[in-house]
Structure 1
């Protein structure tokens, strides 16, 4: 049954038939009907409002109990009207909480000054409607004596009974406050450390804006922090360094890479000093940059020292360059006079076979010239090693041939000292890949040293033994020996075994250093042994790359070619007349026909008129150089048929290459023994 069926029927007045009062009755009846309808509508509106109020109260209750923070309500009489479940722990232990005077509750919870302040805030909001948002509230509870921390705010609201009340929202922020306090203390400790450091320290925000300079910065620049924070640091960077500093810093801020740069900063007196600046990003656990922290180290003295070192290095490099030029010039100037001396010695040896005194003098001169040549070459080799310009020309060689050449080279010295040299090589030939000229130089140096430091009629032994793809060559003497200290430094450059003022042996102290460099270049090792002073010495050279030569092996270099006795037409060109004339005498003695020229133009003309088979051509000539002479002769009709050899005092590898590029068939360094020169000419003539 509906509500309409329950209502009593409306009162309707029926006028008596024919009554004139009928019109008024109808109007009254209509009015009553309208009144009934209006009452019905009002009843429905009241019911709807009641439902809405209930729904609102239900929503409030739901929010009140499910809110993620504590809630409580104080009514118009300043009594606690309602407390949410989340808020109850704050009021724990207080009996009869609901309906209790709120001020009384506050004084039970907090110290009097805090309780009065909170009560005052509530009353103000209750009377004025102004909300209040509190800063973090921290106080020690009266009951537990524990400090607690809250965020809270209050608002006025209308209660269901139509009166106003105050609702309080609060949240325990103790953990956050503790974390913030810990962070603050850490920041204070960090600031204390940074302020106390002797280095200049700065920090920047994640976007690269500087937010801290320690006191050392302000002391150095004479500027306050306010003047330098943000981008103010630009004013103390050297103008020439500013653009590069900004560019790199901005790049690092964008990429997160560590920053490191050297630049100049202006100090308070206006002077600029070099600094090394470093900045690193400080990140959170997710890798996000939180801040930058960096240091600035004064490196002005180090930078000045480095500049001075670079300047010294440049000066040393320049001095070394001049030294190299000087050595090359000295070698050239020494070789030029040595060449005619050697030629003259060879002429004496050939023409004075019946005169013992002349033969003795010639032998002495030959030994001394050989010694001077070796000293010049050793000195230049040391220079080449320092420049890294020594390269091996290795090929398959027989060890015996190298030893034979070395023994031949020291024979005059050995004979002069009346010493015994015993060579003991295995019967089976030993083959290895090596540079025969450089290896001969190694053994010649070691044998020469043995002869120098072994007394007359002393004994020297050279032995060799192959094992496991290597060969060990030992040179032992019964000479003056070596102390333990000397053994440690005997291979040091310019170190001399006998450095006393009364020493009787010569030398520059470079031979053994060369030996070590050359052996190392071959991949081998060398060491010295001695039982002490007066007990002789032994030097052991170990060389790898020993090979077994198969029956069909390629030809082995055994030290040279057969000389030819065919008469040749030879043009000798040298502005040193002694050198040219003495060499011509040698060639004439052996049946050759020679002509001389003393400058470049004469050489070109003589080549055209004399039609030589061989031209021995100096490089440093008057009028035109030997290079140009060679080019001009090569350009003639028969120029390609002539053997043209550069015979010069310039002995660097670059000199040889330049000669070959100019068209020379070979490059020979003065002075050269006639026998060696004759073999080279025979080889080149056979090739033509």
Structure 2
């Protein structure tokens, strides 16, 4: 009974299993058209009911995506789908663990108790999973596993079929999209040649539709002239099942025929069965045109290459020549066919220009071929067939294909003629540079000689520069010193070769070959043989052993104004070769420049000597004029002090005026000389312009009064300070007033005014005198000008007063102008002087001297070789209460200094026996004579004379004739000094 029941249970389970197997095995056919989501849901329900499961979860991967389709079914909750998201995390952890554990026991998420869970993977996707759970003990059994795997496999079959169909559909869509989007027109045929597919490109190009194009209708779009040949070639290839390429003209939709290339390839199945052709058509009309243009261009370029005069050759990546134009072949002496296909480096480029083998790696051509580097070479050689080098310049241009070098083009030119021209040009340029350098040196020598003022300096520069420029060992410059052409050597220049002859100084006597140069005033250039054969050559005579040898000779005269010979310059022993015509031309030019300089130097010496004599004359004149004036002035002073009668007073006044006039003339004459020679130094101080005007009026008032002129004075209201020499400014205004007084008729009118105008002081002296012509105005301030003379009267004068005024004003940074409306219209002289930038200046007012006489009688010795001058000066001093003695020679002065023992000695400079300087020096060196005051009494009054007097030991300096006022001030200073010492 038990056995029978067990068998029956087993039979029933077997039948149920078989039934379930049959049911599950038909799922793929039943669900073939369903969507993946429906398949998953239906499978979950079938398994839940068929296998008595409590939970089923299915996940199917979506093809070509990271997503998937899910379905869940629970025995206890038919509406479990909304809970799938809540259970997913739990199932994910279960799936992770189930990969290593066959059965997992977990709590039932929707019911009570626990579930035995198992995982079944299926299909081609790793993500396709089937998770089942049951509360049955022993789940899953072998039958359960068998049925689960069967169900999963059925679903996998359905999924794979759907995926395959989807992929096929997508592939077909991609193919059609590709075919329609492709620039070429695609087509396919059946084994019998029937066209079964034409891409959209065909229809757009030809304007046909499917009915017109498929089958053999496509031939109707082929050009009638090409149709038969195209059909024949296609069918022939179709029969042989071979690949083919056909070119024919195809009519475009607009009626225009275009060249196309039709390419087809046979199709075979996996079993090798012929399936027809697949091919494409490509519009090659533009390419055809390009090929045509390219061909024409090649022919044109070939014509150009073969007509150019430069050489051209092309080489491939293997360094072999692929083309050589006729000109290039001619330059190398080859026929083009002899070099095409050969390695040209070893034939024409194997040696450096200077000799030596050139490796291929060193060639710029090889570098261009190997690395694609362009190059240009301006100086190289190629080698001709006959073995001769050809100087060339060439450029290398690499041929680049896909960014890589594939050869090079070399353009080269035969520069033989150019090289020869360059060499000639270089030689000419070198010559010109030498000439330019020589001319520059001549110019520099000219500058050097032009700034020299002595003959010796000019001769030295000429001699040194001539020898250096023309490359000679010897140079001599001599000057003519007599009518017989005798010479005085002024400069000698010798190279180190003849250094031991530097002491030679024998003067040429004017005879021989030197005389010929000076006599004819023409250059002479000879070789040594020509010179020795010349009849005027006399050798060196007795001085031969002392004279440096002469090897070749070039002599040029120095010629002054009017053709006068000044001397000559000679060169001998040229360092290289003989003297040339060009050497002679350069020396002639140097001699001409030197001649002008030497003549100018002579003139300068003459002018300087004349100027020196003029100054000496003026000084001597002043001195000689002062000497006779001294006793006259002294006598006048005596007359002043003596009891006077009316006639005596009048006579004295006349004498005073004439003496003052003569002293004024002498002082002006000396001032002009000092200013001209730059010896006047201004003693500037701050001085009020009113003080200057007052002092000038004091000096000029006697002359104005004498001529009975009316004088109008306009002083500035404010104090205007000048930075000026008061004495010189007083001299300026006084001279202008005196000038107005002299050239204005008696009883005339003179106006003196000063005013401020901005940053200047303007002084005006206006008169109504004789006036000036317009022609005379520019010359009125010239030295020795006599433009003030009129036809009916002359006031005389030396013509130096206004010239002196102008120079003194300019020394004060001022200016002066003269104005006049013409003769008889009077004159106006306007002086402009600068004011200082500020008027806040400390005034320095010199205090007036006290008593003009000595407060204590002194012992005074007067020493003067002019007896009258000495006696009258002694009379003046004695009338002032002093004890006075007179001496007239230098030695007597020394004796009187010992015997008379004076306190003060007035000592003339120009004494017989011993000069005043010598007497003063001896007195100062005598220890027995102490405290003696020495006063220089002289007609020489320059600053140099005063400095020399101080050096000799004089304490004071008085200029003859001595004015009584100056004498009294000097005696007052001496009195103060002697009183201080005592």
Q: Give the match's secondary structure for 1:298.
A: helix
Aligned to 1:351: 642
User: Against the structure 1 CA distance between its residues 502 and 304, is the aligned structure 2 distance closer, same or farther, given a 3 Å change threshold?
Assistant: farther
Aligned to 2:412: 173
8 Å contact 2:714–2:752 — kept in the other structure?
yes
> 1:437 Cα shift?
2.0
- From 527, 544, 557, the counterpart of 2:846: 557
Aligned to 1:335: 626
User: Against the structure 1 CA distance between its residues 368 and 266, is the aligned structure 2 distance closer, same or farther, given a 3 Å change threshold?
Assistant: same
- From 580, 585, 590, the counterpart of 2:880: 590
Q: Give the match's secondary structure for 2:799.
A: coil
User: Against the structure 1 CA distance between its residues 521 and 88, is the aligned structure 2 distance closer, same or farther, given a 3 Å change threshold?
Assistant: same
Q: Give the match's secondary structure for 1:174.
A: strand
User: Against the structure 1 CA distance between its residues 621 and 202, is the aligned structure 2 distance closer, same or farther, given a 3 Å change threshold?
Assistant: closer
User: Against the structure 1 CA distance between its residues 362 and 548, is the aligned structure 2 distance closer, same or farther, given a 3 Å change threshold?
Assistant: farther
Measured in 1, the distance between the counterparts of 2:824 and 2:609 equals: 44
What does the per-residue CA deviation read over 1:655-681, in whole Å, with 9 as the maximum and x for residues that have no partner? Answer: 101112222221111112212211122
1:513 matched to 2:803: yes
Q: Give the match's secondary structure for 1:556.
A: coil
1:382 matched to 2:669: no
> 1:440 Cα shift?
2.0
What does the per-residue CA deviation read over 1:219-256, in whole Å, with 9 as the maximum and x for residues that have no partner? Answer: xxxxxxxxxxxx9964698475574999xxxxxxxxxx
Aligned to 1:320: 611
- From 310, 317, 334, the counterpart of 2:601: 310
User: Against the structure 1 CA distance between its residues 618 and 529, is the aligned structure 2 distance closer, same or farther, given a 3 Å change threshold?
Assistant: same
Aligned to 2:768: 478
1:406 matched to 2:696: yes
Aligned to 2:740: 450
Larger of the two Rg values belongs to structure: 2
> 1:587 Cα shift?
2.3
Measured in 2, the distance between the counterparts of 1:115 and 1:316 equals: 77
Aligned to 1:292: none
> 1:458 Cα shift?
0.8
Aligned to 1:290: none
Aligned to 1:7: none
Aligned to 1:463: 753
> 1:307 Cα shift?
0.7
1:566 matched to 2:872: no
What does the per-residue CA deviation read over 1:168-211, in whole Å, with 9 as the maximum and x for residues that have no partner? Answer: xx9753175585477479669979x97xxxx994799xxxxxxx
Measured in 2, the distance between the counterparts of 1:622 and 1:673 equals: 25
> 1:500 Cα shift?
6.0
Measured in 2, the distance between the counterparts of 1:373 and 1:307 equals: 43
1:525 matched to 2:789: no
8 Å contact 1:568–1:614 — kept in the other structure?
no
Measured in 2, the distance between the counterparts of 1:548 and 1:234 equals: 66
8 Å contact 2:768–2:826 — kept in the other structure?
yes
Aligned to 1:90: 324
Aligned to 2:896: 606
- From 422, 426, 441, the counterpart of 2:712: 422
8 Å contact 1:71–1:84 — kept in the other structure?
no
8 Å contact 2:312–2:328 — kept in the other structure?
no
User: Against the structure 1 CA distance between its residues 241 and 587, is the aligned structure 2 distance closer, same or farther, given a 3 Å change threshold?
Assistant: closer
Measured in 2, the distance between the counterparts of 1:674 and 1:326 equals: 28
8 Å contact 1:397–1:557 — kept in the other structure?
no
User: Against the structure 1 CA distance between its residues 324 and 501, is the aligned structure 2 distance closer, same or farther, given a 3 Å change threshold?
Assistant: farther
Measured in 1, the distance between the counterparts of 2:469 and 2:616 equals: 55
> 1:414 Cα shift?
1.8
Aligned to 1:675: 965
Measured in 1, the distance between the counterparts of 2:614 and 2:907 equals: 27
Aligned to 2:376: none
> 1:564 Cα shift?
3.0
8 Å contact 2:856–2:975 — kept in the other structure?
no
> 1:577 Cα shift?
0.4
User: Against the structure 1 CA distance between its residues 610 and 461, is the aligned structure 2 distance closer, same or farther, given a 3 Å change threshold?
Assistant: farther
- From 264, 272, 280, the counterpart of 2:556: 272
Q: Give the match's secondary structure for 2:946.
A: helix
Measured in 1, the distance between the counterparts of 2:913 and 2:755 equals: 56
Measured in 2, the distance between the counterparts of 1:595 and 1:390 equals: 36
> 1:87 Cα shift?
3.3
Measured in 1, the distance between the counterparts of 2:945 and 2:958 equals: 10
Aligned to 2:562: none
8 Å contact 2:710–2:747 — kept in the other structure?
yes
Aligned to 1:15: none
TM-score by length of 1: 0.62
8 Å contact 1:421–1:459 — kept in the other structure?
yes
8 Å contact 2:753–2:765 — kept in the other structure?
yes
Measured in 1, the distance between the counterparts of 2:926 and 2:554 equals: 74
> 1:303 Cα shift?
2.0
User: Against the structure 1 CA distance between its residues 583 and 480, is the aligned structure 2 distance closer, same or farther, given a 3 Å change threshold?
Assistant: same
What does the per-residue CA deviation read over 1:361-402, in whole Å, with 9 as the maximum and x for residues that have no partner? Answer: 322222222122122221222221222111011223343333
What does the per-residue CA deviation read over 1:417-458, in whole Å, with 9 as the maximum and x for residues that have no partner? Answer: 111223332354443332222222212211111111111011
Aligned to 1:228: none
Aligned to 1:226: none
User: Against the structure 1 CA distance between its residues 403 and 590, is the aligned structure 2 distance closer, same or farther, given a 3 Å change threshold?
Assistant: farther
What does the per-residue CA deviation read over 1:267-300, in whole Å, with 9 as the maximum and x for residues that have no partner? Answer: 4694336899xxxxxxxxxxxxxxxxxx948243
Measured in 2, the distance between the counterparts of 1:514 and 1:349 equals: 33
User: Against the structure 1 CA distance between its residues 185 and 266, is the aligned structure 2 distance closer, same or farther, given a 3 Å change threshold?
Assistant: same
1:152 matched to 2:383: yes
Measured in 2, the distance between the counterparts of 1:659 and 1:333 equals: 19
Measured in 2, the distance between the counterparts of 1:237 and 1:662 equals: 52
1:300 matched to 2:591: yes
8 Å contact 2:855–2:975 — kept in the other structure?
no
8 Å contact 1:563–1:678 — kept in the other structure?
yes
User: Against the structure 1 CA distance between its residues 348 and 202, is the aligned structure 2 distance closer, same or farther, given a 3 Å change threshold?
Assistant: closer
8 Å contact 2:331–2:384 — kept in the other structure?
no
User: Against the structure 1 CA distance between its residues 568 and 478, is the aligned structure 2 distance closer, same or farther, given a 3 Å change threshold?
Assistant: farther
Measured in 2, the distance between the counterparts of 1:89 and 1:561 equals: 122
8 Å contact 1:577–1:598 — kept in the other structure?
yes
Measured in 2, the distance between the counterparts of 1:603 and 1:115 equals: 112
User: Against the structure 1 CA distance between its residues 316 and 171, is the aligned structure 2 distance closer, same or farther, given a 3 Å change threshold?
Assistant: same
> 1:653 Cα shift?
0.9
Return 5+ residue gaps in structure 2 as ranges.
1-310, 340-346, 352-379, 388-408, 439-467, 477-491, 499-521, 527-552, 559-567, 570-584
Q: Which has the higher contact order (CA 8 A, sep 6+)?
A: 1
Q: Give the match's secondary structure for 1:631.
A: helix
User: Against the structure 1 CA distance between its residues 427 and 299, is the aligned structure 2 distance closer, same or farther, given a 3 Å change threshold?
Assistant: same
